[in-house]
Every structure is written in structure tokens, then in C-alpha cells.
Structure 1
Amino acid sequence: MCALSMSSNSRIEQSHQQLFQMLGPLLIQSDKAYLVGGLVRDSLLGCIPRDLDIAVSGDASAVARSITKVLGGNLVVMDEARNYFRVVLREESRLDTIRTIDVSALYGDIFQDLARRDFTIDAMAVPLHNYLSGNWRESIIDPCNGLRDLELGLIRATGTEVFLEDSLRALRAVRLVAQLGFAIEEDTRDSIQRHAGAIQDISSERLRDELLAILAAPGASSSLYLMDELGLLLMVIPELDQGRGVTQPKEHYWDVFRHNIETVAAVEGLLERNLTPAWILDEVPWDDYLKKHFQEISSDGHSRATLCKLTGLLHDIAKPATKTVEPSGKIRFLGHNRIGADMASAILQRLRLSGKGVEMVQLMVDLHMRPGQMSQNVEIPTPRAIYRYFRRAENVAIDTIFLNLADYVAARGPYLQHAEWVAYAGMVRHILEVGLFQDEAVTQSRILDGHTLIKHLSLSSGPLVGRLLNIVKEAQAAGEIGTEEEAINLARKQMKTFHKEGVHA
């Protein structure tokens, strides 16, 4: 977490000197320009700022266009009526850590403008020329006592109308709690609860962005519980409420509602390597390859890790609808993975997640039990079964394996025993290691291609060739063949089987 410091933080200031020197000439169109919001807050806390917020007098759109032209990026109209624009810098255009530059027109003078902002810790400003001079801490404009709340570690609304003006600010308060480790001031908390229902009127895109930002921040499960306490979680994903109080088989510690959230915690603990007890992590493979895999940006500007946490939240969304209790008392949730995949897809389409993101989550939900079902009693799955899983799971095979491990940890909760975990995690680790080896072996050492197959078996191009090549790849992955001759013989033998079944080239 960051800590308040009024002393100079030269590392942060120097890292942005080039950016601000470039911005200076672009702001001559404005009589006054101020750095406001997160940059001032983060600089005071010693955090590395990611976004820049500038308030200017005059035409903010002209300033934003100039910044876009000079620095390179995309201009987004955030609120034309309020003269509010965002410059999203292209990766190659970014200077140090800054990703976006928000430009807005001053509402009245700087004091009136800051009074309209959401939280006191973001209602501070510094004239741009003072920031460049190096003595900016002496020039902080702080009409809402943001410095006081930084010292107290509080998220406090600037006024009583904050959440009426923009109800999304309630979710932003939760995100700030996660990012800064602060607490929400009591009156602010009460106000959020009173106006929680209003976030249903917020655009799906804005809800999506805040939800993903909350999941991306540390302690995502704690944030979800806080959202629930404030009445916000079910305003975003009302389907989750159906799991509250829904009991599960005796192996499960939590009801369905809490299990979904605890799975988010387990995903994060596995990927951040901070899950306790420590012996859980001893059985889970981790290296630079896996670390980079989960850092990869996958959807809506967020990483695979964030998407995996989102999937953890939704993976058992259909359990309430599929629950049955047999006369013996046995509880079943038949088909909850398949139905849940469709439900998750509908929820995420409603939130305007990208098509790629929806497909990834949908597939993970559908397959989240599969790694544990590939063998009986934690026996080692066959190479063929592992190959088929990786082929079916496509680009979320690794992600789904980690989701499955997290699901197991969250299901047992405090009931989890060391010996059972060693056995289960060992089996799943085998799936991961063999699957990655097979993928590398088949990709780098292809022993038969379509042209050669067509030539030797006198085939025509078409779906049959693809089927035969898949059979060859599976046999190669299973270690049953290793040469072109063996591959051709296998394909020829399979053709005889196809002919008996009435399949022709």
C-alpha cells in the first residue's frame, strides 16, 4: 500500500518531467491549467500514477485534440456536455507509466470545480507550472480537506449530492478501498447504501469497466463482499443472489453465493502466490511462462488473471437453477456447467464485455470441472484424454486448470486436508505439464501435413483430411507414433474404418 508523504518524491516527479514539458506548449490555448485528482493523490502517497487528469479553462476539446495529435493515441469523448475528453495513449506513445490523459473544462473557478468532484482525496489540484517547478506541495489547492483524509486513510464524499450526480462513484469508492487500503467514511457509506439502486441506470460499459477494475485490484473477494454489504453487487449481477443460502454437498464449506466469491479469492491467491496455508502453493506449478500467460491482456484492456477471477465469480451461477435432492438426500447440480456457461454469456453480453472475453469466460465455465473428471479417484489421466482436453479448451486450457484448482480450494474451505490436496493437485499438475509438453511437441515436430497425406492416400482436399490429421496429432501427442511413415499407416488404417462406416473421401 502507498503511504502519505509531503516530502519530495523525485523519482515520480522526474519520471514525468518529459511528459509535462511536452504538455506545456499544448496548454497555451488555456489561461489556466491544473493537475487534479489521482495524479496529485498518488504523488502524495508515493504511488506511481497511471492516469493524468487536467482541468483547463477554455476549450477542453481543442486541448485534448492537440495532445492526441502530438503524443499519439485515441481521443474518446467521455461527456461532451461537460466538455470532458480522454486521450488513450498508444503503447508506443506512453511516457513512463501514464496510460490515459483526461482533459476537462473548469466548472467555474478551480475551487468550484474541485467541490463538484467525488471524493475529498481526489479534490485536490496543483497549477501545472508549479508542478514543473518542483515546489508543488506548497501550492496544493485543497478546499475539501483531502490532505486530512489522506492522513486518516478515508474515502469521504465531497458533498451530499455526489452519488445523485453520478451513482457509478459508489463502485469507484470500492475500487479506491482496494487500491489504497483505505476505509469508507461512515456518512459516505450510508449515502452509498441509500443510493445503491441508482447504479442500474448507469451504462453497461461503465459498469463493466468498474467491475473489471475492482477485480483487477488486490483483494478482489474482499471488494465483492464490500459491494454486497453496500447493496451494489446485486445491482450489477443480480443473478448471484439466487445462490445465497443454497446449500451444497457435505464436501462444500460455503453456500453457493459465498463459494463463488471464495473462488475469486482462491484464483487470486494461486496467481499472486499468497494463498494460505503455504502447502497449497507447494503443489501448484509456477514459472515465468505461467506468470506471463496470466499477465497477457485478453479482453477490454484486462489480463487473463482478471478474466479468470471474473469466471470464478460466475462459474457456479447456474447451481441454484439446477439443484435437485434425491430421496437418499444426495444433492446434485446436473448440467450446471453447461447452463451456467450460457448464463455467464448472457450476463457478460449485458455488461458489454468484448466478444472474445465472453467466449473465454463461457468456455471456462463450461469446462471448469473437466480437469477433475478426466480420471477416477485422482488416477493419472491418459495422454489421449489430456490432449483432447487441451484441444477442447483451446486458448483457455491453462486458465481453466487454475480455475479448477481454485474451485477445489474454495469448495473445501477450512475442511481442506493436506493429503487430499497433494493427491488432487498432483493429478491436475500432471494434466498441465503433459498438456504443455504435448502442445510443444506437436507444434514444433509436425510429422505429417495435409499435402503429404493427400498424396499418399489419393485423397481430395476437404474435411476428411482435417479429421485424419487430428487423429494423427492425437496419436503423436499420446506418444503412439513418431514418424511420417507411422502417421501415414495410421491414417490409412483409419480410412478403412471410415469406409466401413460409410465415410468417403
Structure 2
Amino acid sequence: MRAIRFSAQLGFTIEEYTLKAITEYAPAIEAVSHERVRDEFIKIVMSRHPEPAMNLLQKTGLLAVLFPEIEEGVGITQNKHHVYTVFEHCVKSLQFAAEFEYAFHIRIAALLHDVGKPRTRRFANGDNTFYGHEIVGARMAEVFMKRLKFPSDLTKQVTHLVRHHMFYYDVGKVTPAGARRLLRRVGKDNFDDLIKLRIAERKGSGVPKAEPYRLRHLQFMVEQASKEPISVGQLAVTGNDLIHELGLRPGPMIGGILHALLAQVLEDPKKNDKNHLLEQARNLQEKTPEELKQLGESAIEKEEKKQEEEIKRKYHV
């Protein structure tokens, strides 16, 4: 296994007789501790050439001994969305993750994301289906990670990515509410990693797809949905401050003044100072609550539109 790791790190070809010897003695690697296997495996995954290394592990029989879950994908054909077998697709996804210099947990998720397909493959309506493979795969990924003694937090991270890698998104069909539900389901901290995993596995499918725009649009929708709503709660003053400092009575006037103050702060965030806002509030008491509230609502609408345009430019949508 170390020889294969060196070939992955340094990019050389293993000599024929050495490769035969590795194949002959492959079963003996069962005597090696899981920790040592894990350490070599990490170095392969983090190398520049993990794809040929994984192919060598399979060719020599080491894969079947050490990583039987991955071996199950060898020769398993997929459907019209893929040109490669499950094993080939997973390994190519890993290779693209390496080329993009993704972190280890994303690379290992790319390798394991479809590990549940062989156990869920069914033939229906002239094509293979793999319903629920992400659920089965997540369980298999957890067993895999625990067997190799990976830390529990890393195990959870990888398992979570495998479990949710099949998220659905179609431009024009997913609403802001749908984007918020996706964000709640996968977690804000995991979202960027999930996008990277989708990019790697799409590149590894061998079938060109118009995915980049969809992913950029999804990132736009999710970032927009994750922003805190613009409200008077962002002000350095509260309704109680207006009551106690200015002697105002509770009522619509309080809300109206706060909305008008918010309009000023949205125009110039430096004005969000308690003393300054109280001084401005004194000058607003001549207007009606309706006029004041309209000032705030117009400013909020303008700011939300500005933020939306900024996010659109960020993701080129």
C-alpha cells in the first residue's frame, strides 16, 4: 500500500514485478492495524494523483481486502446520467476534488458519495435506479470511517455530506422558502462543502451538464435566504429608549419613528449611534405615524433590492 501511495504522491509507475509481488501478498495486509492503513489512505486521498492509486489498489486486490465497500462498485453500471461504473465514477470524482484542491473531508465524501448504489440498484422502465442510495451510503460511510478510526467529528461531517449529496435544485422551480428549507436541512456550515461535492461528482460523471449556472443560482438563493431580515431591531435605540428619553407614549408613533430612523441608518450605517438617533427622533415627532412608517418601508425595500443585486453579481446570475 505504501508503494502505491508513493506512486500517487510522486507520480511514478510501479515496476511490473513489484506490482505482481504486491498482488501476491495483498491478503497479508489484513494483519496491519487500521490506524496504519488509515494513515496511508489519507496520504493517497490527499495526493495529486488519487485516481491511478485507487485503480492500483483495486487491480492488486488491496481494495477488496481493505475497503470492500468501495470494491462493491467495481463493474456496476449506472444509468443514462453516467458513462462510468460506480467505482470509476467515485474515483474520478475524488480525482476532480483533488485537482480543485478541496479539503480532505470533501475528497473522501466524493469517493464515498455513491457507495450505496450497488446495494440499491434496481432495473425499471429500461434503466437502472438507485433510490435511497444516499441513505444506505451514509450508513456505509459511517461504518467505513469508524473502522479506520477516524475522529467522530470528521465521521459525522463525511456522513452528512454523503447523506445529503442528492439535494434537488432547479432554477425557476425552487422558491426562497425552498432554499431556506434546504439550508435548514443540510446546515449553513455544510452548504459550501455540499456545493463543492456536487461540482466534483458532476465532473466525474462523464456526462456534460449545465450544472455550473444552477449551482451559482442556488448559492445566490441560499445566501439571500440566509440573510437576517432588515428590521428596526438592528437600531441602536429601542422603543423603550424613546419612551424613557423623549417621554413618548406607547403607540403607533413609536413604531413610526423607529422605521424612519432605520431609513436613515440604511442610508448611512455610521448614524446607528444611540445619542444621534435620539436627537433625530426629536425632530421626527411632527410627522404622522403613517408617514414615518412609509419612510422606513421604502428604505427597507431599497436596501433589500440592493443586497439582491450584489449577491446576483457575486454569483453571476
Normalised by the size of structure 1, how large is the TM-score?
A: 0.44
> 2-side partners of 1:433 and 1:195: how far apart?
52
Q: Is the 1:172–1:210 Cα contact (8 Å) retained in structure 2? A: yes
Question: In structure 1, what is the Cα distance between the partners aligned to 2:231 and 2:133?
Answer: 39
The one of the two structures with greater contact order (alpha-carbon pairs below 8 A, sep at least 6) is: 2
2:61 partner amino acid:
G
For 1:91-144, what per-residue CA distance to the aligned partner results, in whole angstroms no more than 9, with x for missing partners? xxxxxxxxxxxxxxxxxxxxxxxxxxxxxxxxxxxxxxxxxxxxxxxxxxxxxx
Q: Deviations over 1:50-109 (max 9, x none)?
A: xxxxxxxxxxxxxxxxxxxxxxxxxxxxxxxxxxxxxxxxxxxxxxxxxxxxxxxxxxxx
| Corresponding residue for residue 403 of structure 1 | 197
CA RMSD of aligned residues (A): 2.6
Is there any run of 5+ residues in structure 1 with no aligned partner, and where?
1-170, 273-293, 295-304, 453-481, 487-505
Matches within 5 A, 1:201-240: 201-240=31-70
Measured after TM superposition, the shift of residue 360 of structure 1 is 0.7
For structure 2, the residue ranges without an aligned partner over 5 or more in a row are: 239-295, 301-317
**Cα contact 1:197–1:232 (8 A) shared by 2:** yes
Q: CA deviation at 1:381?
A: 2.9
1:443 Cα deviation (Å)? Answer: 10
Q: CA deviation at 1:198?
A: 1.4
| Residue 139 (structure 2) aligns with | 342
Amino acid paired to 1:325? F
Query: 2-side partners of 1:446 and 1:174: how far apart?
Result: 61
Looking at structure 2, the residues matched to 331 and 243 of structure 1 have their Cα atoms a distance apart, in angstroms, of 14
Which residue does 2:117 correspond to in 1? Answer: 319
Aligned-pair CA distance for 1:308: 1.1
Match of 2:90 among 253, 256, 260: 260
1:175 aligned partner, one-letter code:
R
1:48-59 pair list within 5 angstroms: none
Partner Cα separation in structure 1 for residue 28 and residue 199 of structure 2:
37
Give the match for residue 130 of structure 2: 333
The secondary structure found in structure 2 opposite 1:325 is strand
Distance 1:231 1:201 in 2: 15
Alignment match of 1:383 (pick from 167, 176, 187): 176
* Map of 1:374 onto structure 2: 169
Contact 1:215–1:310 (Cα < 8 Å) also in 2: yes
- Rounded to whole Å, the distance in 1 between the matches of 2:176 and 2:92 is 32
Distance 1:188 1:397, change over 3 A: same
Aligned residue in 2 for 1:430: 217
Query: 1:241 and 1:445, CA in 2 relative to 1: closer, same or farther beyond 3 A?
Result: farther
When you count strand as a share of all residues, which structure comes out higher?
1
* 1:247/1:182 CA distance change after superposition, 3 Å: closer
Q: Would you say the 8 A contact 1:380–1:430 is kept in 2?
A: no
- 1:393 matched to which residue of 2? 186
Counterparts of 2:89 and 2:158 in 1: how far apart (Å)? Answer: 18
Paired residue total: 237
1:243 is paired with a residue whose SS is coil
Tell me the TM-score normalised to structure 2 length: 0.68
Contact 2:73 2:117 in 1 (8 A): yes
| Amino acid aligned to 1:351 | L
Give runs of aligned pairs for residues 79-478 of structure 1, distance below 5 A: 171-269=1-99, 271-272=100-101, 294=102, 305-326=103-124, 328-370=125-167, 373-375=168-170, 378-379=171-172, 381-394=174-187, 395-411=189-205, 413=206, 415-416=207-208, 420-421=209-210, 424-436=211-223, 438-439=225-226, 441-442=227-228, 447=233
Deviations 1:393-413 (A, max 9, x none): 2222111111112222222x1
CA spacing shift, 1:186–1:330, aligned 2, 3 Å: closer
CA drift at 1:264: 1.0
Q: CA contact under 8 A between 1:267 and 1:312: conserved in structure 2?
A: yes
Which whole-Å CA distance do the structure 2 matches of 1:198 and 1:179 have between them? 24
Is the partner of 2:78 in helix, strand or coil? Answer: coil
Query: Following the alignment from structure 2 to structure 1, what is the Cα–Cα distance between the partners of residues 45 and 18?
Result: 22
Q: Give the aligned partner of residue 285 of structure 1.
A: none
3-state DSSP of counterpart to 1:246: coil
**Distance change in 2, residues 1:208/1:443 (3 Å):** farther
Q: Evaluate the alpha carbon distance shift between residue 257 and residue 392 of structure 1 in structure 2; reply closer, same or farther with a 3 A threshold.
A: same
Q: Which amino acid aligns with 2:185?
A: R
Amino acid at match of 1:246: I
In 1, Cα distance between equivalents of 2:230 and 2:35: 41
